[in-house]
Amino acid sequence: MAISRRRFLAGGLTAGALGLLGCAHEASVHRQRWYYFGTLVDVTVVHADARRVAHALQRVSALFGDIHRNLHAWRPGELQRINHAIAVGEAVSIAPSTVRMIADIQDQHVRSGGAFNPAVGELIGLWGFHDDELPTGRPPSRKRIDELVDRQPSPLDIDVSGGRLISRNRHVQLDLGGYGKGYALDAGMALFREAGLTDVIINAGGDLNVSGRQNRRAWRVGIRDPGGHGAMGYLQTAGSEAVYTSGSYERYLDVDGKRYAHIIDPRDGMPVDDIVSATVVDSAGTRADAAATALAVAGRQWRDVAEFLGVREAMVIDSQGGIALTTAMADRVSLDARTRRQVTVG
Ligand code: AMP
Ligand code: MG
């Protein structure tokens, strides 16, 4: 999870205070900024009790620190411990939360028709994305890519029982770059909810979870134009939900004018190039995160994969700049008239 991106602007956050700031019984807006998961994480909480908010922020920050370490793809932590055990063919004990996470990953892998495959860590590493810096140099050889694809790593190679994980395939290397933020933000939201804080937005570099409202209205988030600098429109959220975007422009390897994206098609080991960005709205961050990655991999077949995944709200921008939205998504999104892109709905 070393992803730096600013696709969604926290458009709903610009309004400032909610009326009588400072009055003990009036809700006020509390903001906090951290750096986790390779990106800025902006949190906004609306509540009257500043001490309660401060305490919850502390707990969420500690939780994000733990998840950041434990799910990191190339630094020491629980994921590295698991990947090491898999590589040497040993069983490893895992936390109950990880047991549930593995089951969810397996489910999303199957429902995405294999497009979402967080077991392809070897390929992601081969393309040079297991580093804080963007990769440089030449793309890997076709021969080497084919070797890794032929090993067919899949989350379904993993068995978990009695709190122990074992993989039939030693070439499974878990990389949760396409899932971990959703997992973390869902957990963060759950902590806020436990603390009685329900009007919250957590924006991790454009991937965000929202709940409740601001200024008596649902949060509204700006949609960043992947080809430009400003917002190309906004999305109206409703209640508790998650809005996640996968973009081929976020991390990449540039070679001789060709750009190789960090999202890899598990079928041929190549970076995706049909789709520039895929945005999914869902009730949980884990589902929205995995689905956005899956749609980016699916390319022109994204509608089929969205259907298998049960995703109703999705927006995809293709490499020609065309915007396609599902009907349900079109009801939510207002695009700036100056965007001047071809828009297809349905
Ligand atoms: P996201 O921005 O959520 O799409 O996550 C992209 C990250 O997910 C990449 O940087 C990789 O760490 C990982 N990834 C790449 N390809 C896949 C894939 N086909 N399935 C699941 N995760 C992937
Ligand atoms: Mg994702």
Instruction: Name all residues whose Cβ lies below 6 A of ligand 1.
Output: 3, 116-118, 120, 124, 129, 175, 177-178, 246, 251, 262-264, 266, 289, 292-293, 296-297
* 304 Cα–ligand 1 center, Å: 19
**Cα(98) to centroid of ligand 1, in Å?**
19
DSSP reduced 3-state for 135: coil
Residues with a beta carbon under 5 angstroms from ion ligand 2: 178, 246, 289, 292-293
Q: Could you tell which of 262, 267, 287, 297 is best to mutate to test the pocket of ligand 1, judged by most ligand atoms within 8 Å of the CB?
A: 262
Q: State the angle between helix axes of 302-309 and 96-111 in degrees (0 to 180), rounded to the nearest 10.
A: 130
Please give the structure tokens belonging to residue 293.
């990655």
**At which residue do the structure tokens 């001789």 appear?**
256
Distance CA 264, CA 112 (A): 14
Taking the C-alpha atoms of residue 309 and residue 42, their distance in angstroms, rounded to an integer, is 29
- Rounded-to-integer distance, Cα 312 and Cα 68, Å: 30
Give residue for tokens 């080991």.
269
Nearest ligand to residue 286 Cα: 2
CA 251 to chain centre: 13
Query: For residue 105, which ligand has an atom nearest its CA?
Result: 1
The rounded Å distance from CA 305 to ligand 1 centre is 16
Token readout for 47 is 């509540």
Q: What is the spatial distance between Cα 77 and Cα 225, in angstroms, rounded to a whole number?
A: 35
Find out whether 247 and 262 touch, Cβ atoms under 8 Å: no
Ligand 1: centre distance to CA 136 (Å):
19
Q: Is the pTM of this model over 0.75?
A: yes
Pocket test for ligand 1, best of 264, 279, 289, 295 (most atoms within 8 A of CB): 264
8-state DSSP, 173: B
Residue 220, amino acid: R
Yes or no: say if 235 and 332 are a contact pair by the CB < 8 Å rule.
yes
* Segments in the chain below pLDDT 50: 1-24
Q: Are 64 and 58 in contact (CB under 8 A)?
A: no
State residue 214's pLDDT score. Answer: 83
> What residues contact 39, with CB distance under 8 A and at least 6 apart?
3, 4, 5, 204, 205, 206
Beta pairing class for 270-271 and 264-265:
antiparallel
In angstroms, the CA 62 to CA 314 distance is 32
Distance CA 302, CA 290 (A): 13
Give pLDDT, residue 9. 44
* Residue 276: count of CB within 10 angstroms of its CB: 22
Contact 102, 158 (CB under 8 A): yes
Coil, strand or helix at 233: strand
Among left, alpha and beta (phi > 0; psi -120 to 50; other), residue 103 is alpha
Query: Tell me, what's the pLDDT at 85?
Result: 98
Q: Whole-angstrom Cα distance, residue 246 to residue 310?
A: 18
> Burial code of 3-32, b = ≥16 C-beta within 10 A, e = fewer?
bebebbbbbbbeeeebeeeeeeeebbbbeb
Residue whose CA is at the smallest distance from ligand 1 atom 15? 263
Instruction: Output the six-digit token pair for 159.
Output: 């068995």
Q: How many CA atoms lie within 13 A of 193 on its CB side?
A: 12
